[in-house]
Structure 1
Amino acid sequence: MFLLNSLYFVPKGWGESFSVIHGSDEVKSGKPSPDLFLEAASRMGVDASCCLVIEDSLVGIKAGKAAHMQVVVVPSIQTESDQYSIADYVIHSFLDFQPQIWGLPPFDDWVMKALPIDPIHFKGSYKNGFLEEISDNNASDIPGQAWSVYFGWVDSDSPNRFKIVVSIRWDCSCGSFRRNIQACFINGSNEQICDQQIEVALVGYIRGFQTMQNPLTDAQILDDDKSIAEVCLDSAAFSYHRCSPAKL
């Protein structure tokens, strides 16, 4: 089931993807009241306690919990993710969602322990194990929900193309919220591209971070991450990305 603020704004084609589409204008009170979710459970013919809600807002979480449902949240505002801890499970991106945890069938689009993604392109510079994003318009080209371990390709002034693994997270340890991008090159020497502008194309997702545990430890790039990335980037499943230039 998919829930909307109004049935007048159902995106084209979504009717074929959901068995029931329900609007908040069909119930007495909207979120954070549980009315919307309770009506949804009733229409599906299931007990509310057996339902899983995926939300992105605080009022939505409150509504789901008031209906006695399990709630997974993907914070719409990453800088305020700590406020969403009342949910049963907090993830930074839907890529982190593991349906098998909730007794649902696992996704079948993973390839050798990694998930192919639409390429994330950005420019940057590398120094001392970290990437600093360079933007032409002061706006980041990396999605705000990108808070995980990824891998991909790097182009620079060098004729060689490099394989890279990155760990992307938000860091507020210095009093301000800023993106932290740890990077590790799988092939080639880091010195070849140090302090020069590079172009990055991330094409695969490996894992997210356990937000309720130590984020600094969890965000470290592991040897297993490097092994997964190297095997995937050499595989036929990622050969399309490999043959396509990573230019922006």
Structure 2
Amino acid sequence: MDDDRRISAVIFDLDGTLLDTEHVTKDVLKEVLVRYGKVVDLDKEKKRHGMAHRESTIAIVKDYDLPITPQQYSQIITPMYHEKWLQAKALPGVNRLIKHLRKHGVPYALASNSRRKSIEIKVSSQEGWKEYFSVIVGSEEVKSGKPSPDIFLETANKMGVDASCCLVIEDSMVGIRAGKAANMQVVAVPSIQSESDEYLIADHVIHSFLDFQPELWALPPFEDWVMKALPIEPFHFKGSYENGFLQESSDNGASDLVGQAWGVYFGWVEVDSQERLKIVVDIRWDHCCGAYRRNIQACFINGSESDGQICDELMEVTLVGYIRGFCSKQNLSTDAQIVDQDKSIAEACLDLPAYRHHDILP
């Protein structure tokens, strides 16, 4: 990196970047539209991704020809969102990076198109975040929200750092454009699976925070890898096994895995038969028939899958370690395969205290 562009501070977006708020609130619009006999238009919603609240409510009322004002629409959805936000969780690798920056004295802040009150509700629901984020800027604190650079410039000003020395981390095109307009370096962590090349305007694109390498930005490197793998905050999902793949299942038909769950992971499964197995999975999104579909390849280290006895049985999966990401979406056929080295790493790690203390199934 050019010394003139050395990073001295990090600015995070919030929704879809740090928190899975978009994942837990994705059905709110559907629930409101059904009252008026309308259905969600996914193409329109993708274009609205990252938009400020006021602009978003105006656009939704207009696009769906709703017989209410934007203010009335906002009054309807606000309590619905507040309830959902309490269920939001930090995305994979987020707490790790925040604590790392805090430990090394690297300034960081939140800059969101959400209103300040909404931001504070979301932050307060996460353990420690009220203390972690001393600088927060919301959409009503500047003249124009993203994609205008105003929010990021005001955040840099509040932190007392030069805008050109800030690294922005964003999940939406609206935020990425705002970061570039502010003359900042930008890392994109897309929360929507898309073939669009638009994200390439960012300086770097990653699948999840677990792929983030601070040293690329002259920031202190992570030092928490154990035996060629990374202990992670456990995440859980339910599924059934068939022909080398896990099929997700849940009580309400929605996935428990967020979109940023990419890469090769390992952990434990507990089967209906009460058998407990070590597992390695690669989680990826494949493009098929005009849409993206998640595929989860699975390999049981114990080898029990060969006898076919666990096929179609409901499994509780707990992933506790991360081995690697994928080089690119275009080369998934080769780099998204579980190899012998992945199995060896997983088997060795699952016997270590660094991973065993996470060995708790929901």
TM range (shorter): 0.7 to 0.9
Q: Name 1:2's counterpart in structure 2.
A: 110
Give CA-to-partner distance per residue, 1:75-119, whole Å, 9 cap, x none.
Answer: 232346754232122222222222222111123443323222333
> Equivalent of 2:324, from 207, 221, 235?
207
Q: Name 1:53's counterpart in structure 2.
A: 168
Give distance in 2, aligned partners of 1:167 and 1:108.
24
SS at the partner of 1:214? helix
- Residues 44/124 of structure 1: CA separation in 2 closer, same or farther (3 Å cut): closer
The structure where helix makes up a greater share of residues is 2
**Deviation of 1:65 (Å):** 0.7
Counterpart contact for 1:119–1:202, Cα < 8 Å: yes
Q: Name 1:156's counterpart in structure 2.
A: 271
- Residues 182/158 of structure 1: CA separation in 2 closer, same or farther (3 Å cut): same
User: Any residues of structure 2 matched to 1:26-45 within 5 Å, and which?
Assistant: 26-45=141-160
Give distance in 2, aligned partners of 1:81 and 1:222.
30
Q: Name 1:100's counterpart in structure 2.
A: 215
Give CA-to-partner distance per residue, 1:184-232, whole Å, 9 cap, x none.
Answer: 2212332234523141221212222223652332211233222221111
Counterpart contact for 1:155–1:162, Cα < 8 Å: yes
Give CA-to-partner distance per residue, 1:137-194, whole Å, 9 cap, x none.
Answer: 2211222221111101122255642211100011113433211111122123322345
**2:322 is aligned with what amino acid?**
Y
- Residues 42/135 of structure 1: CA separation in 2 closer, same or farther (3 Å cut): closer
Normalising by structure 1, we get a TM-score of: 0.86
The RMSD of aligned alpha carbons is: 2.5
Q: Name 1:225's counterpart in structure 2.
A: 342
Q: Name 1:175's counterpart in structure 2.
A: 290
Counterpart contact for 1:147–1:169, Cα < 8 Å: yes
Give distance in 1, aligned partners of 2:298 and 2:148.
44
- Residues 189/212 of structure 1: CA separation in 2 closer, same or farther (3 Å cut): closer
- Comparing 47-56 and 187-196, the one that deviates more: 187-196
**2:323 is aligned with what amino acid?**
I
- The structure 1 segments of at least 4 consecutive aligned residues displaced by more than 6 Å after TM superposition are none
- Comparing 132-141 and 62-71, the one that deviates more: 132-141
Give distance in 2, aligned partners of 1:6 and 1:176.
32
What percentage of aligned pairs have identical amino acids?
Answer: 68
Does residue 166 in structure 1 map to residue 281 in structure 2? yes
**1:7 is aligned with what amino acid?**
R
Counterpart contact for 1:149–1:221, Cα < 8 Å: yes
**1:6 is aligned with what amino acid?**
R
- In structure 2, the gaps of 5 or more residues are 1-108
Q: Name 1:197's counterpart in structure 2.
A: 313
Q: Name 2:239's counterpart in structure 1.
A: 124
Give distance in 2, aligned partners of 1:88 and 1:78.
19
Normalising by structure 2, we get a TM-score of: 0.61
Counterpart contact for 1:154–1:198, Cα < 8 Å: no
Give distance in 2, aligned partners of 1:6 and 1:139.
28
Q: Name 2:17's counterpart in structure 1.
A: none
SS at the partner of 1:145? coil
